[in-house]
Chain A
Amino acid sequence: MDALHSLALGFQVASSPLNLFYCLIGVSLGTLIGILPGVGPLLTIAMLIPLTFGMPPESSVIMLAGIYYGASYGGSTAAILVNLPGEPSSVVTCIDGHQMARQGRGGVALAIAAIGSFVAGSIGTALIVLCAPILQQWVINFSPADYASLIFMALIATATLVQGSVLNGIGMALLGVLIGLVGMDPMTGASRFTFGSLDLMEGIDFVVVAIGVFAVAEIVQTLDEKESRPGEVAATGSIWPSLADLKASCLPILRGTGIGALFGVLPGTGPTISSIAAYFFERRIARDPSRFGHGAIEGVAAAESANNAAAQTGFIPTMTMGIPGSATMAMLLGALMMNGVNPGPNMIAQRPELFWGLIASMWIGNLMLLILNLPLIGMWVKILRVPYRWLFPAILVFSALGLYSLNLRAFDLYLMLGFGVGGYLLARLRCEPVPFIIGIILGPMLEEHFRRAMVISQGDPSVFVTSWLSLLFLVLSVLIVLLMTPRKRLRAEAAAA
């Protein structure tokens, strides 16, 4: 009853014409920057903060939050259409989403991503209302050892469950981890693998590698395929999902939402881990896992719902405890503080109109995003009909622009080209790029949490098995490897016979 009353207050705040207007600006801007590779919500929010000083705090946070979750809608568009993951959380969307686009089902993939994101966003919002206190406690209970084991499990799942042999997958993941370790040692600040280069000290940005390995390598590879003549990628089928598509996506969306909502609250790892976990969970329970990687709609549905649900529940630790889970959230928190609001345990009691107004606006914003995105799908899909000789240079130019705007240095562009060539070679050798990319993202996180756990335990490795959460993740990792190895071997033998 109390929650309903508060929510009513929230909708009252969020549906004022002024706040609706700012919400619309936020989500539209978010969609746009989500599509452009490189330019992310973090930079956009930073640039807009000075403009929010004269605004009422509710309006400014509603707009800035809209940019944040709007970007994840736009991110899936680039991932599906041109195989460009702009954010770590959309890497797994590329796997099946882009395959669908190549089969002429890009419109369907986009529609399912938008619908899944909307459902996840709505449920996520409801969960914030109902479970914020419980999930809040969960975050505090996660120790560095638990994080390390969770990340280890995500890495193992990625390495073993993609196409090809387990050994190949694990090798690629380890290669990614190695690249991820370039730069300053997180504990001591010592430079590693930088060869004296200042540019390498901060490490290799995931976006640089992703654009190189996915977009550039993809372009080179397509040029290589002489049969597929430019402009004849695939006939663009119906934009709207069929009843069968919707039926196939329904449960994955709900499961993805559940996984996303749960992992979304964890600082630092939220949307990335949850999209990976949701994708591989779907694959694991699918009746025919071999369809995954070849345009399985369930993969897109699960990953996109998970990252959006996580984006919503990510507000729980930020708003209720004042502990932002990501740099973007820290930025939002900073904006609130400069406007004289102190997020934290007392915020809901002291500024109910702000907290509930934001929650209600997220639901309204998700609805706006759905309405904005569905009609636009037709337009986006037309991009696929553009002949390759026009499309490819355009993708390269936009990628390079976006990348350059990240750090304003040409070094990143050379790196992108280098990884493009590397990615092409890997594809020729039939090595999977997905575990490689995920290794780059998760490797440094794994190292950080592992070493932190060891420092806190004063060097005693038993912490990884005495915490039951950590033990659970480790046991699950072992099970994943054991379950997958014989199955793949059998399949390989069947193929050989």
Chain B
Amino acid sequence: MFPRHLVLATLAASAFLIGAVHAADYPSRPVQYIVPFGAGGAAELASRVVTEGFTEALGQPFVVENRPGANGIIGTVQGAKAAPDGYTLLQANGATFSVNPLLYKAATYDPAKDFTPIGLVARQPYVIAVSAGLPVHTLDELIALAKEKGGRLTYATGSTSHQLAGELFQKEAGIKLTHVPYNATNLALPDVISGRVDLIVTAAYTAVPHLGKIRPIAATSAERAKLLPDVPTFKELGYPNFVVEGWFGVSAPAGLPPEVVKTLNTALNKHLAQAKVREAFDNAGFEVTPSTPEEFGSFIKQELETGRNVVQAAGIEPR
């Protein structure tokens, strides 16, 4: 039989060890995953697929917490300020990481410095589409018409990321359009289908059910959208700098221990490699693009740079 004090000492020592190198047995309690938007929307749905993967792989519940407010700023600020212990993760996406800091003074975070990138999850290609009644079929025809109308062509968007693509289009093509903002793309569709608004910038998957009533002219993504393989990209059409995509990934507050980053990135990429997961994302119009934490970090920097150029060229001041 072991002397009792020895047993106690061993227990105490192991308890101490658990406390000290907690990264080794991370996670030992539930993890909250902040989504900086309210319930609803494809990105929020997709984040639930991601947390399901973490839960399965790491054996602790990863719980989605919707923290909506101020276009995603409130939840993102909370994510930046949380303790970097791996028990608070944040959904990073195009709107909160590459658009908001440029448009709103209230977005006090620096996407490149205040967060630890964990991994990119998926990208979402956008298209610029015209109402079927508009007599243009190619990008050149569209640009010619816009020049002829001198700013009277209208374009609808349902999010600030789509608007960014619209602003970039005007900058690159040297044209002027009138912007008609909507709270969500679905609310813009009746006006575009009926021809009251001439153009729309939207995700490729939103455009697919309405083909015939709206006509995609060009994709804003680096590669053609899987859902619309016949629609050429701006890149192909002679605009090498024109790449705007929706995207989302997983991030954490700055200073997350590297072991935890590795654990999370491995679990994430393993989950994303599964056929059924890819299929669920495909169906919702997302193209799965796993990455290493370093790749994701430089991706964020590059996105921010693109956004900054557009916003400066359009003369938009942060509000």
Contact residues in A for B71 (Cβ distance below 8 Å): 184, 189, 201-202
Q: Which chain B residues (90-144) contact chain A, with CB distance < 8 Å?
A: 103-104, 106
Taken together as a complex, chains A and B put the C-alpha atoms of A340 and B68 apart, in Å, by 28
CB distance from B106 to the nearest CB of A (A): 6
Q: Which chain A residues (130-151) contact chain B, with CB distance < 8 Å?
A: 139-144
Contact residues in B for A171 (Cβ distance below 8 Å): none
Contact B189 A323 (CB under 8 A): yes
Q: A198-B70, A202-B68 are in contact. Are A144 and B52 (CB under 8 A)?
A: no
Q: A186-B181, A323-B186 are in contact. Are A334 and B41 (CB under 8 A)?
A: yes
Q: What count of chain A residues pass the 8 Å CB interface test?
A: 56
Contact residues in A for B160 (Cβ distance below 8 Å): 189
Taken together as a complex, chains A and B put the C-alpha atoms of A408 and B36 apart, in Å, by 12
Contact residues in B for A299 (Cβ distance below 8 Å): none
Q: Which chain A residues (19-43) contact chain B, with CB distance < 8 Å?
A: 42-43
Contact residues in A for B68 (Cβ distance below 8 Å): 202, 407
Contact B65 A187 (CB under 8 A): no
Contact A408 B67 (CB under 8 A): yes
Taken together as a complex, chains A and B put the C-alpha atoms of A142 and B69 apart, in Å, by 30
CB distance from A391 to the nearest CB of B (A): 31
Contact B210 A344 (CB under 8 A): yes
Contact residues in B for A189 (Cβ distance below 8 Å): 71, 103-104, 160, 319
CB distance from A196 to the nearest CB of B (A): 8
Contact A322 B194 (CB under 8 A): no
Contact A343 B209 (CB under 8 A): yes
Contact A144 B196 (CB under 8 A): yes
Residue among B40, B42, B182, B191 having the largest count of chain A Cβ atoms under 10 Å: B40
CB distance from A120 to the nearest CB of B (A): 25
Residue ID in chain B nearest A455 by CB atoms: B180
Contact B283 A339 (CB under 8 A): yes
Contact B280 A335 (CB under 8 A): no
Taken together as a complex, chains A and B put the C-alpha atoms of A208 and B76 apart, in Å, by 23
Contact residues in B for A140 (Cβ distance below 8 Å): 190, 193-194
Residue ID in chain B nearest A463 by CB atoms: B196
B66 lies within 8 A of chain A by Cβ: yes
Contact residues in A for B73 (Cβ distance below 8 Å): 198, 201
Contact A43 B39 (CB under 8 A): yes
Taken together as a complex, chains A and B put the C-alpha atoms of A333 and B290 apart, in Å, by 26
Partner of A267, one of B180, B186, B197: B186
Q: A198-B74, A342-B209 are in contact. Are A334 and B40 (CB under 8 A)?
A: yes
Contact A456 B38 (CB under 8 A): no
Contact A267 B190 (CB under 8 A): yes
Q: A198-B106, A456-B154 are in contact. Are A143 and B196 (CB under 8 A)?
A: yes
Taken together as a complex, chains A and B put the C-alpha atoms of A308 and B281 apart, in Å, by 34
Q: A202-B69, A322-B210 are in contact. Are A42 and B186 (CB under 8 A)?
A: no
Contact A338 B284 (CB under 8 A): yes
A49 lies within 8 A of chain B by Cβ: yes
Q: A50-B52, A334-B284, A455-B180 are in contact. Are A42 and B191 (CB under 8 A)?
A: no
Contact B40 A331 (CB under 8 A): yes
Taken together as a complex, chains A and B put the C-alpha atoms of A105 and B278 apart, in Å, by 56
Residue ID in chain B nearest A185 by CB atoms: B319
A-B contact count (CB 8 A): 138
Q: A141-B194, A339-B283 are in contact. Are A45 and B152 (CB under 8 A)?
A: no
Q: Which chain A residues (401-449) contact chain B, with CB distance < 8 Å?
A: 407-409, 448
Residue ID in chain B nearest A328 by CB atoms: B40
Partner of B319, one of A50, A191, A345: A191
Contact A143 B191 (CB under 8 A): yes
Taken together as a complex, chains A and B put the C-alpha atoms of A345 and B193 apart, in Å, by 13
Partner of A184, one of B41, B70, B182, B194: B70
A452 lies within 8 A of chain B by Cβ: yes
Interface string of B20-34 (1 = CB under 8 A from A): 000000000000000
CB distance from A351 to the nearest CB of B (A): 13
Interface string of A326-357 (1 = CB under 8 A from B): 01101101110111101111100000000000
Contact residues in A for B190 (Cβ distance below 8 Å): 139-140, 142, 267, 323
Taken together as a complex, chains A and B put the C-alpha atoms of A346 and B280 apart, in Å, by 20
B199 lies within 8 A of chain A by Cβ: no
Contact residues in A for B209 (Cβ distance below 8 Å): 321-322, 342-346
Q: A327-B38, A342-B209 are in contact. Are A267 and B187 (CB under 8 A)?
A: yes
Partner of B186, one of A330, A409, A455: A330
Taken together as a complex, chains A and B put the C-alpha atoms of A275 and B15 apart, in Å, by 62
Stretch at the interface among B43-51, B246-254, B293-301: B43-51
Taken together as a complex, chains A and B put the C-alpha atoms of A102 and B115 apart, in Å, by 55
Taken together as a complex, chains A and B put the C-alpha atoms of A338 and B186 apart, in Å, by 17
CB distance from B90 to the nearest CB of A (A): 15
CB distance from A404 to the nearest CB of B (A): 13
Contact residues in A for B45 (Cβ distance below 8 Å): 46, 49, 331, 334-335, 338
Residue ID in chain B nearest A50 by CB atoms: B48
Contact A186 B106 (CB under 8 A): no
Contact residues in A for B66 (Cβ distance below 8 Å): 43, 46
Residue ID in chain B nearest A343 by CB atoms: B209
B18 lies within 8 A of chain A by Cβ: no
Taken together as a complex, chains A and B put the C-alpha atoms of A458 and B176 apart, in Å, by 14
Contact residues in B for A188 (Cβ distance below 8 Å): 319
B77 lies within 8 A of chain A by Cβ: yes
B274 lies within 8 A of chain A by Cβ: no
A55 lies within 8 A of chain B by Cβ: no
Residue among B48, B49, B279 having the largest count of chain A Cβ atoms under 10 Å: B48
Taken together as a complex, chains A and B put the C-alpha atoms of A296 and B183 apart, in Å, by 38
Contact A46 B196 (CB under 8 A): no
A230 lies within 8 A of chain B by Cβ: no
Q: A189-B103, A198-B106 are in contact. Are A456 and B180 (CB under 8 A)?
A: yes
Question: What are 11 pairs between A and B in contact, CB < 8 Å?
Answer: A140-B194, A198-B73, A322-B209, A323-B190, A327-B38, A330-B40, A331-B39, A331-B40, A337-B42, A340-B279, A342-B208
Other A-B contacts than A199-B74, A202-B69, 9 sampled, CB-CB below 8 A, are: A140-B194, A144-B191, A186-B183, A190-B319, A331-B40, A338-B45, A338-B49, A452-B182, A456-B154
Q: Which residues of A contact B (CB under 8 A)?
A: 42-43, 45-47, 49-50, 53, 139-144, 184, 186-191, 198-199, 201-202, 267-268, 321-325, 327-328, 330-331, 333-335, 337-340, 342-346, 407-409, 448, 452, 455-456, 458
Sorted from nearest, which 6 A-B pairs have the closest CB atoms? Answer: A344-B209, A46-B39, A201-B70, A322-B209, A327-B40, A202-B69
